[in-house]
Amino acid sequence: MAFRDHLAQADVISDPVSVELGIRRLSMQRGDIPLIFDEIIEATGQRAAVNVLTRSALCQKWDCTPSELGAAMIEAQHHPVEPAHVDFTDALFNYLVSDDVDLTTIPVPWHFEEDRGRYMSASIIIAQYAGRRNLSFHRMYVRSPNTTVARLVPRHLCEMVEQARANGDEVPIAVVNAPDPTVLLAAAMSFEDHIDELEIAAHLHQRLVGSELNVCIAPNGITVPSDAEYVWLGSITLDDDLEGPYVDITGTLDTERMQPVIRFDTQYQRESPIFHALISSGAEHRTLMGLPRAPIIQNAVNRVCPCHDVSLTAGGSGWLSVVIQITPNRPSDGHDAVMAAFAAHTSVKQVIAVDQDIDPEDPVAVEWALMTRWQPAKDTIILENQRGSSLDPSCNSDGTTSKIGKDATIPLGVDRSPFERVT
């Protein structure tokens, strides 16, 4: 099931639109609903899509509940599957091939005036070096027609680049835009160990779509999904350049810093391709960044008591605030479940525990539970001098923060009727 198969519910914008501030502006005017832009002024014959991949949309397309999606993501981590290999010449992105890469003719958007310029925000980097493969999201500033500057946070790809540079090597890569959403979810997951995200995606594809995930080996040796809308082959070079400022997931402006330069040598694209032009700080950004953390949190909380759902809230930018829906079995379960959630996602600043009758996706219902079931003096956890998130501008200069947990579950052993909403 390709990326474009998820676009059936999107409204089509036929009027010409510019990638420079126009896509986000029109999205806001239309209430940030799923949109396809059919005529991009700077990219003749190409289209762009925004606001497509939210949790509810994915669950509807895959005919599963949020809890079932979370369970599938947990299972995929423990049971990776080898994807199916097809011949590179059969890949759908082989419709148009160019060795004269010009990213300025692709619908790469400039969403905010405060950004450094045009950014790929929904593209993933697939890197292979020293016998390891890594898939991960990285925003990429379009520096020139055939180069970008990529923000590498200190995780596996950054370690790979540092190892290669110590040996005087460039890192061969493919940059992929708009592959199957199972690949996007797998690329957004983070692991302590070096786990092959393509094999995670292959498991998800079998479980959620009911068929094998097709991949192929590109001429530079990188394995890529065969149904992507765009594929670029190139290298992470030995050079650095300025990246940022950039409006990040919280809607605040991230700073500029020196980051690795990527050079592209070859470009592939599907017929009438659709560029995934994710809007930073929007619902789609929150989904792709936060949704893969939910099963990790759920798995940890399940070790304390049954955890039915996890929501990384919109108010917390899909990253900093979590609501866990649980069934406590012991008086301490609410407290212990909150602590388990903090341990599973160290960037989170607030955790709220609610009962199974409260929809964790509904902020009004969650606040109602707080106001009717939570006593601040005894149901609140305050943690000081904790590791914070680089996305939280209120953190201390050393990166630490205070954190708060709230147990808004009905106390065990009491008459529940006064706490239950009459419907």
Q: How far apart are the first and last CA of the chain?
A: 40
Question: Which residue is associated with the tokens 């040598």?
Answer: 265
CA angle 98, 94, 14 (to 5 degrees): 85
Phi, psi of 221 (to 5 degrees): 90, 0
Phi, psi of 250 (to 5 degrees): -80, -5
- Tell me how far the alpha carbon of residue 151 is from its chain's centroid: 15
- H or E, element range at 75: helix 66-78
Pair of tokens at residue 92: 């759908």
**Nearest to residue 404, comparing CAs of 365, 355, 360, 348?**
348
392 is catalytic: no
Catalytic, out of 180, 248, 355, 379: 248
| CA gap 22, 142 in Å, rounded | 17
In this structure, are strands 11-13 and 35-37 parallel, antiparallel, or unpaired? parallel
**Nearest to residue 184, comparing CAs of 164, 205, 153, 168?**
205
Strand 274-276's sheet: what is its strand order? 11-13, 35-37, 47-50, 274-276
One-letter amino acid identity for 268? Answer: Y
Phi, psi of 231 (to 5 degrees): -140, 130
> What residues form DSSP beta bridges with 110?
20
Pair of tokens at residue 380: 């609140």
Report CA torsion sign: 172, 169, 240, 282: positive
Q: Number of C-alpha atoms within 13 angstroms, CB side, residue 288?
A: 30
**Please, which residues have CB within 8 angstroms of residue 277's CB and are 6 or more apart in sequence?**
19, 23, 37, 48, 49, 50, 107, 108, 109, 121, 122
Question: Which residue is associated with the tokens 């065969």?
Answer: 226
Question: Known catalytic residues?
Answer: 248
